[in-house]
Structure 1
Amino acid sequence: MFVYILGAGAMGCVFGAKLSAAGWRVHLIDVNAKQIAAINEAGLKLSGDNGKKTYRLPASNAADAKETADLIIVFTKSLHTSDGIASMKHVIGDKTYVLTLQNGLGNAEKIAACVARDRILEGVTTVPADLVSPGVVASHGSGGVQFYTLTGETAPIVEEISAALAKAGIDAKADPAIREAIWTKVIFNATMNATCALLDTTPGPLGDREDGIALAAALIEEGASVASASGCPIDAAGVHAMAKMSMTQHRNHIPSMLQDLRAGRRTEVDDINGAIVRQARAHGVHAPMHETLWRLMRVREDL
């Protein structure tokens, strides 16, 4: 199996390293020249629970990719999905599959502009990943992957990917109810990620305050109501549990939106809180709290 990892940030590098160790041929694709150079010159260095290891994987920009892909796994930020997949059109063949494990709603639909819907898979991951420096990533703790085909029909590639991820030490679940898992993660991110980013804090201090806990709870319930209206009811209690775990067991974790704001980058808020608002409007319900967070974040990005 020959796979491109589109988006060689922290998560893409962790998956690339583990899949290469499982026997797949892996090529990392990114736009960051420093990241590409570091990986090609010194190898991809991964620090995990079992120590440190260096993986020799090719890395390049999309234009330098030549071989037709069996599989492309997309890890770019959601705001770069359309441009990213378009940049790979020259290595997408009739038998190429594309799996998105990105944050947000609507990534699979963006990919469908370049790839047939029956060749697209979508999912979520909870695998921990941190970018330490160019070419150096860390992954401590456990996590997994849930995914399935966009069409909802089974395909041999589902079992093939599941087996490879399992061999790589990543718990993988082929889940026909994948839309519920995607909505669950979107609501969690819309609640914790955006709130922490706006308050310039990690989850711990938010959970130390009654108002912080109440705010998170209200955002989760509002998001769950939108999911239900859109035809994808979720288990809100599960999202509440995820938020509590974030506030207690991951107190000092710096959410990705906060990292982006501190670095002066655009965030994924349009495809997370903004997507919830668009779904609410499309189905005749209101999401005033998420709309407020969305608009505040958009203003904050421009300041």
Structure 2
Amino acid sequence: MNIVVYGAGALGLYFAGLLSTQNNVFCISRKRIADAVKQKGVVILKNGEEKRFEIEISSNPEDVDFGVDIVILASKSYDSQKNLQDIKNRWPFCNLITLQNGIYTEDLARKLFKESQIFPMVSNIGSRFVSDNVIEEFLNHGIVLGSLKRGVTFNHIATMFGYVGIDVLVSDNIMRDKWKKFMFYCGGATINALTDVLDLENKNSLWITKRVLNEMCEVGKKLDLDFDIDLLAREAFEFMMSFKPRSWKASVGQDLRRGRKTEIDYLNGYLVKLAKDVGVDVPVNETLYRLVKTLETTGLFTKIKDNL
């Protein structure tokens, strides 16, 4: 298949490298990364082994010179609006795979593409840059893939990942799965980002987690969801309580400590927006959101790191 990975960071390059063994893959990424990959290829470190992949890459989407079957949108959520519009302008009939955390990108994509073109992904694969062209896999529990439109056949897309060794679970209700991860990020991941806590069962984290989920349920009940939001929250809570990582660096926390813009506007911040739209108060989610935004503004975490 002809695939464009648009806005490729660590996870996008990870998928691009593996998919390039069976498909024609072109990456759009930042110029610094594109230049490094052109010179040295993509190197993926996995279980102590190193694999190198040659892929086409550029910082300019105009360099894609072939018909595109699939676009994997791999950029940060804060770039979704701009990137989705560019994808629509260039490849209006492509199949679009969205892998951002939360549900914001899918809400935007619905306004530009037919639901039958949109295939949201929940990625349970963790990857990070070691250098501009070297990616380390630190977590791999596969991916969950589904279609926004019920009844659409997408076996060719699911098997595309399976052929290159990625475990794929096909979902019959992918937005339920996206909401579950949305709950995990708004609760557990934001708590970790602010505190570095690993154990969500401690009494203070538990207090926050329960209220985050309760607020999300109240918002969900006002939306046109086709699943039981209370049942989903219970599943998300059980997962959070069983989540016992040896190390955990939530992406929002990493961005805060590096002085970068976070995706909090599209996690707790997006829940706050939805809540206001439907007239529900979500004080705990809003407090978490505003704490992160304050730290973004002050750069306090960066200053603490620099003074250690």
* TM-score, structure 1 normalization: 0.88
The 5-angstrom pairing of residues 111-150 of structure 1 reads 111-150=109-148
Preserved CA contact (<8 Å) 1:63 1:87:
no
CA distance in 2, matches of 1:243, 1:208: 8
How many pairs are equivalent?
A: 293
Matched residue, 1:271? 266
| Corresponding position: 1:290 with 2:289 | no
In the other structure, the counterpart of 2:186 is 190
Partners in 1 of 2:280 and 2:92 — Cα distance? 41
Aligned to 1:235: 232
Corresponding position of 1:177: 173
State how 1:158-177 maps to structure 2 within 5 Å: 158-177=154-173
Structure 2 counterpart SS, 1:193: helix
Q: Residues of 2 paired with 1:291 and 1:142: CA distance?
A: 31
Alignment-derived partner of residue 223 in structure 1: 216
User: Deviations 1:243-280 (Å, cap 9, x if unpaired)?
Assistant: 2344x2x2422110011111221111111112212222
Contact kept in structure 2, 1:67 and 1:91, CA below 8 Å: no
TM superposition shift of 1:46: 0.1
Residue 126 of structure 1: SS of its match in structure 2? strand
Structure 1, unaligned stretches of length 5 or more? none
Post-superposition shift, 1:55? Answer: 0.3
1:101 aligns with 2:99: yes
Q: Indicate if the aligned counterparts of 2:201 and 2:241 stay in contact, CA closer than 8 A.
A: no
Instruction: Report the identity percentage.
Output: 24
- Which residue identity is paired with 1:58? E
Q: Report the equivalent of 1:45.
A: 43
Shift of the 216–93 alpha-carbon distance from structure 1 to 2, 3 Å rule, reads closer
Superimposed CA distance per residue, residues 177-204 of structure 1 (whole angstroms, 9 cap, x where no aligned partner): 11111111011011122222223x2x42
Residue 130 (structure 1) shift: 1.6
Are residues 1:24 and 2:23 paired?
A: yes
Cα deviation 1:209-235 (Å, max 9, x = unaligned): 431233223323332343344234142
Q: CA deviation at 1:292?
A: 1.1
Of 281-290 and 55-64, deviating more is 281-290
Cα distance in 1, alignment partners of residues 144 and 260 from structure 2: 28
Secondary structure at 2:257 match in 1? helix
1:39/1:146 CA distance change after superposition, 3 Å: same
> How far apart are the structure 2 equivalents of 1:273 and 1:51?
37
Q: Could you tell me whether the CA contact under 8 Å between 1:126 and 1:145 is conserved in 2? A: yes
Which aligned pairs between 1:58-69 and structure 2 lie closer than 5 A? 58-61=56-59, 62-69=61-68
